[in-house]
Amino acid sequence: QKEVEQNSGPLSVPEGAIASLNCTYSDRGSQSFFWYRQYSGKSPELIMSIYSNGDKEDGRFTAQLNKASQYVSLLIRDSQPSDSATYLCAVNKGNRGSTLGRLYFGRGTQLTVWP
Amino acid sequence: GAVVSQHPSRVICKSGTSVKIECRSLDFQATTMFWYRQFPKQSLMLMATSNEGSKATYEQGVEKDKFLINHASLTLSTLTVTSAHPEDSSFYICSAPTPNTDTQYFGPGTRLTVL
């Protein structure tokens, strides 16, 4: 079983719609969860981090965490063509706040937002 | 967010040569940095953890004698790909967490092509 798995893509939504991205992880002891966005040929850029069960909102982005189900999701409201990218779910298996933690990434979900 | 730089951004070399990639944290000190590799259409794979003042920690399956890591100061880590071969061609990305957090910021990446 892979450490981090993401729903298969690609995902295509019209401009203004809600895009839903999902991720599951295998290590129940994981503490920190991240969503990164990666444009083609570029390195990942951080969108959000989440540590506690529930929802965390930042602008058009909402991250959801359910540790019991080992599930993390990202919702993008009012999707824009500029949101078209690959979205990577990452899990830090170290203790929260520990700089010794290492990130394990899913394969990513490619999102296309069409005008 | 914090700024991490990498140099060079792109390198082409002949098979059998060695290539050094630098990773710098520009506005913060990083006792730990991480090196990732990403093949086309695949996710980021953690290669090793670079520790300032001590030996790097390599992930399973990564050859430490082939991928030499030196964390010379609190703002600089280098990755040297020794005796590079075409199968080493990849996108190499470093990251560093800001102090006392587990939020990692990525460098822009180095695209290595071995002929």
**Half-sphere exposure of residue A100, counting CA atoms within 13 Å on the CB side?**
4
DSSP lists the bridge partners of residue A49 as A34
- pLDDT above 80 (res B1): no
Cα separations in angstroms, A49 against A2, A57, A70, B86? 21, 10, 15, 36
Nearest alpha-carbon partner for B12 in B63, B99, B81: B81
CA distance B86 to chain A (A): 19
What is the three-class DSSP state of A8?
coil
State both tokens at B100.
């006392």
What is the rounded distance in angstroms from the CA atom of residue B100 to the CA atom of residue B102? 7
What is the rounded distance in angstroms from the CA atom of residue B38 to the CA atom of residue B90? 6
- pLDDT above 70 (res B60): yes
Percent of chain B with pLDDT over 90: 75
What is the rounded distance in angstroms from the CA atom of residue A114 to the CA atom of residue B77? 40
Q: How many Å is the maximal CA-CA distance in chain B?
A: 41
Specify whether the CB–CB gap between B64 and B84 falls below 8 A.
no
Q: Write down the pLDDT at residue B100.
A: 75
Q: Write down the pLDDT at residue A95.
A: 57
Q: B43 and A102: CB-CB below 8 Å?
A: no
Residues of chain A with pLDDT under 70: 1, 8, 94-101
Instruction: Pick from A43, A91, A109 the residue to mutate for testing the B interface (most B CBs within 10 Å).
Output: A43
Q: Write down the pLDDT at residue A99.
A: 47
Q: How many CB atoms lie within 10 A of CB B33?
A: 30
Judge whether A45 is closer than 8 Å to chain B, CB to CB: yes
